[in-house]
Structure 1
Amino acid sequence: MMKFTVITLGCQMNYADTARVKSVLKNCGFTPVETVEEADIVIFDTCSVRQKSEDKVTGKLKEIPLDKKVWITGCMIQHNMRNQKIMTGKKLPENLKTGNFGGVVLTKEPRIVGLTSEEVKNLKKSDKGELVGINHSFNPLFHNLSQKWKNIELFFRIDDTGFLPLMLQKLGYEVRYDRELTNEYSTIVPEGINSSMNAHNKTAYIPISTGCNQFCAYCIVPFARGLERWFPVEQIVKEAKIHLANGVKEIVLLGQIVNKHPDFLTIVKEVLKLEGLEWLRYTSPYPTYYSDELLALHETEQKLCPHIHIPFQSGSNAVLKKMFRGYSAEQCYTFIDKIRSLKRPISITTDIILGFPGETEEDFQETLKLTEYARFDMIYMGIYSNRPGTFADRKYPDEIPYKVKHQRRSQLNDILYRISDENNQLEVGAERTMIVNEITKDGDILGYTDNMKQIILKSSPKTANLEIGMLLPVRITKGMVFKLEGEPLL
Structure 2
Amino acid sequence: MSKKLYIETLGCAMNERDSAHIIAELEEKEHYSLTQNPKEADLILINTCSVREKPEKKLFSEIGQYAKIKKENAKIGVCGCTASHLGDLILKKTKSVDFVLGARNVSKITQIIHEKRVAWVDIDYDESAYVFSPNPHSPLKGMINISIGCDKKCTYCIVPHTRGNEISIPADLILEEARRMVENGTKEILLLGQNVNNYGKYFSHSHRAINFTQLLNEISQINGLERIRFTSPHPLHMDDDFIIEVAQNPKICKAIHMPLQSGSSAILQKMRRGYSKEWFLNRVEKMRSLIPNLSIGTDIIVGFPTESEEDFLDTLDVLEKVRFDTLYSFIYSTRPHTQAQKWLEVDRSVELVEEQIAKERLLRLKDRHKEILTEDNLKQIGRVHKILFESFDATHSLLEGRSDTNKLVRVKAESGLVGEICEVRISQVKGAQLLGELIS
TM-score, L = length of structure 2? 0.88
- How far the C-alpha of 1:49 sits from its partner, in A, is 0.5
- 2:402 pairs with one of 448, 457, 461: 448
Name which of structure 1's ranges 427-436 and 331-340 shifts more when overlaid on structure 2.
Answer: 427-436
Please state if 1:156 is matched with 2:101: yes
What residue number does 2:428 align with? 478
What residue is the counterpart of 2:134 in the other structure?
A: 190
* Amino acid aligned to 1:409: L
Task: Specify the alignment match of 1:274 in structure 2.
Answer: 222
Are the equivalent residues in 2 in contact too, given 1:212–1:228 (CA < 8 A)?
Answer: yes
Corresponding residue number in structure 2 for 1:132: none
Query: Please, which of 203, 227, 244 is the counterpart of residue 165 of structure 2?
Result: 227
Q: Root-mean-square deviation (CA), in Å? A: 2.0
Q: Identify if the C-alpha distance between structure 1 residues 23 and 330 changes in structure 2 by more than 3 Å, giving closer, same or farther.
A: same
Give the partner amino acid of 1:62.
G
Look up the match of 2:84: 78
Cα separation, 2, equivalents of 1:170 and 1:336: 50
Q: Does 1:167 align with 2:112?
A: yes
Correspondence for 1:141 = 90
2:194 is aligned to 256
CA distance in 1, matches of 2:257, 2:137: 26
SS in 2 for 1:392: helix
State the alpha-carbon separation in 2 of the partners of residues 281 and 184 from structure 1: 21
Give per-residue Cα distances to partners, 1:84-122, cap 9 Å, x unaligned: xxxxxxxxxxxxxxxxxxxxxxxxxxxxxxxxxxxxxxx
2:45–2:76 CA contact under 8 A, matched in 1: yes
Q: Secondary structure at the match of 1:71?
A: strand
Contact 1:189 1:239 in 2 (8 A): no
Q: Does the CA contact (< 8 Å) of 1:159 and 1:184 recur in 2?
A: no
Query: After TM superposition, which residue ranges in structure 1, 4 or more long, deviate above 6 angstroms?
Result: none
Q: What is the one-letter code of the residue matched to 2:142?
A: A
**Relative to structure 1, is the Cα distance of residues 471 and 58 closer, same or farther in structure 2, using a 3 angstrom cutoff?**
farther
Task: Tell me the residue number matched to 1:247.
Answer: 185
| CA–CA separation in structure 1 for the residues paired with 2:129 and 2:55 | 24
- Deviation of residue 170 (structure 1)? 4.0
- Contact 2:50–2:158 (8 Å) recurs in 1: yes
- Does the alignment pair 1:412 with 2:365? yes
Letter in 2 for 1:61: I
* Residues 469/324 of structure 1: CA separation in 2 closer, same or farther (3 Å cut): same
Q: Which letter does structure 1 place at the counterpart of 2:111?
A: L
Deviations 1:109-150 (A, max 9, x none): xxxxxxxxxxxxxxxxxxxxxxxxxxxxx222221122xxx2
Contact between 2:190 and 2:228, CA under 8 Å: does it hold in 1?
Answer: yes
Decide whether the 8 Å contact of 1:425 with 1:479 is kept in 2.
yes
Q: Does 1:436 align with 2:389?
A: yes
**Does structure 1 conserve the Cα–Cα contact (< 8 Å) formed by 2:168 and 2:199?**
yes
Does residue 439 of structure 2 align to residue 489 of structure 1? Answer: yes
- On the 8 A contact 1:435/1:472 being kept in 2, the answer is yes
Structure 1: distance between partners of 2:99 and 2:386? 44
Q: Distance in 2 between matches of 1:40 and 1:185?
A: 30
Question: SS of the residue aligned with 1:352?
Answer: strand
What is the count of residue pairs matched by the alignment?
Answer: 410
Q: Does 1:216 align with 2:154?
A: yes
1:40 maps to 42
CA distance in 1, matches of 2:164, 2:287: 32
Deviation at 1:18, TM superposition (A): 0.7
Superposed CA deviations along residues 408-449 of structure 1, whole A, max 9, x for unmatched, are: 111111221121122222222222122334433222333322
CA contact (8 A) 2:258 2:296 kept: yes
Q: Residue type of the partner of 1:54?
A: E
**Secondary structure at the residue paired with 1:428?**
coil
1:98 — aligned with what?
none
In structure 1, distance between residues paired with 2:291 and 2:332: 37
- Unaligned runs of at least 5 residues, structure 2: 118-125, 201-210, 345-349
Number of the residue aligned with 2:206: none
Higher relative contact order (CA 8 A, sep 6+): 1
Ranges in structure 1 where 5+ consecutive residues have no aligned partner = 81-137, 173-181, 195-200
Following the alignment from structure 1 to structure 2, what is the Cα–Cα distance between the partners of residues 59 and 451?
39
Counterpart position of 1:61: 63
Equivalent-residue separation in structure 1 for 2:418 and 2:78 (angstroms): 31
Distance 2:159 2:98 in 1: 25
What is the distance in 1 between the residues matched to 2:417 and 2:83? 39
